[in-house]
Amino acid sequence: MRILVTGGAGYIGSVSVEALVEAGHEVTVLDDLTTGFRGAVSPAARLEVGTYGDTAAVAALLVRDRIDAVLHCAAKSLVGESMVDPAKYFRENVAGGIALLEALRTTGVRRIVFSSTAATYGMPERTPITESDPVQPINAYGETKRCVESAITWYGRGYGLRSVILRYFNAAGASKACGEQHNPETHLIPAVLLACEQGRDMTLFGEDYATPDGTCVRDYIHVSDLARAHMLALEATDPANTLTGPPSGPCEPLICNLGSGTGFSNRQIVAAAERVTGRPIPVKIGPRRLGDPAVLVASAQRAHEKLGWEPGLGTLEEIIGSAWEWRRSHPAGYPD
């Protein structure tokens, strides 16, 4: 397949690109490098520096590289930031997302896999969360992803766009070549490892949640497991595959959660990081972070049944261990 990966220089995108090229696909990466890194892109992929929000430019790229399917990973994705600057999220994720869909529509590319999020569920009514549970985001980030999910759904009904929408829970870990690097670092696992490297305390945001130890609970999934799910999802958008609709005419998206089904509290993450690194990581408790649900844990039953996907690298120590390995083998991060 010839695949365009938006955000292919970012964390989840770069690991997916690595897996796609290894599987023999031809990959074009579209990334504006605002949060991604040139050095994260597999040398076997073609990198185009630019925005997915420019319909004409993306359409030209789709035609130039004779793209069969798009994996749309690019987005602004920080829950906390989305609460203080929602405009940025609506501009980039929603307006940009529609511009991308327009490029697909006008060039007749009818296959997309969309990186969505557990943040669409908001404050879940039950755990583990299934895909038919109510979608009621409590942060602007989740809301913008819900908007793009809706647009994809209606493009399917109106224009026969075949799609898989993947609601990721908490991506973590690293492949050998690609890991998680953000500036500033706001995600829990890399932030804990950074605190450990720098020999300073780790601040946890709140310990008065209705959870066993009072800190938030999340479902961590190895980024390489996500990459495998992307490949299965891209295959599912083939017109011969009825999971994403009939060969022609209106289509409905296949929506799947991607998680492990097990939740770990923020304190449990710190304790696991202490075991992996062999160093003490003292904890300080700060105020709650705006927009944080107490518990997000997936039921990944549907991804298993429909896509044949299962997380294979699931233990917390494996996930944190791979992140720690990557940091040690890339002490200065990516070269650029």
Catalytic (active-site) positions: 141
- 119 binds ligand UFG per the rule CB under 6 A: yes
131 with 305: CB under 8 angstroms? Answer: no
Burial of 105 (0-12, 13-18, 19+ CB in 10 A): middle
- Min dist. Cβ of residue 178 to ligand UFG (A): 17
Chosen residue from 51, 205, 211, 314 binding ligand UFG by CB under 6 A: 205
The pair of structure tokens assigned to 335 is: 């070269």
* Cis before 293 (ω within 30): no
Binding ligand UFG by CB under 6 A: which of 45, 109, 113, 118? 118
x/- track of binding to ligand UFG for residues 272-301 (CB under 6 A): -----------------x--x---x-----
Closer CB to ligand UFG, residue 4 or residue 204?
Answer: 204
Q: Contacts with ligand UFG in 96-115 (CB under 6 A)?
A: none
Pair of tokens at residue 82: 């989305």
Q: Is 257 in the site for ligand UFG (CB under 6 A)?
A: no
User: Least distance to ligand UFG from the beta carbon of 87, Å?
Assistant: 18
Of residues 79 and 227, the one with the C-beta less far from ligand UFG:
79
> Rounded distance, CA 194 to CA 51, Å?
30
In the chain, the DSSP E strands lie at 2-6, 26-31, 46-49, 69-72, 111-117, 162-168, 170-172, 202-205, 217-218, 220-222, 254-258, 264-265, 283-286, 295-296
266 scored as a contact of ligand UFG (CB under 6 A): yes
* Cα-Cα-Cα-Cα dihedral sign, residues 70, 71, 77, 79: positive
Instruction: Based on the shown chain and the rule CB under 6 A, indicate whether residue 146 belongs to the binding site for ligand UFG.
Output: no
Label residues 18-34 b or e (16+ Cβ within 10 Å = b). Answer: bbbbeeebbbbbbbbee
Residue 187 touches ligand UFG, criterion: CB under 6 A: yes
The two three-digit tokens of residue 53, written as one number: 């929000």
Query: Among the candidate windows 10-18, 85-93, 197-205, 327-335, which touches ligand UFG by CB under 6 A?
Result: 197-205
Nearest to 3 by CA among 87, 74, 61: 61
Contact footprint for ligand UFG (CB under 6 A): 77, 79, 117-119, 169-170, 186-188, 191, 203-205, 216, 218, 266, 289, 292, 296
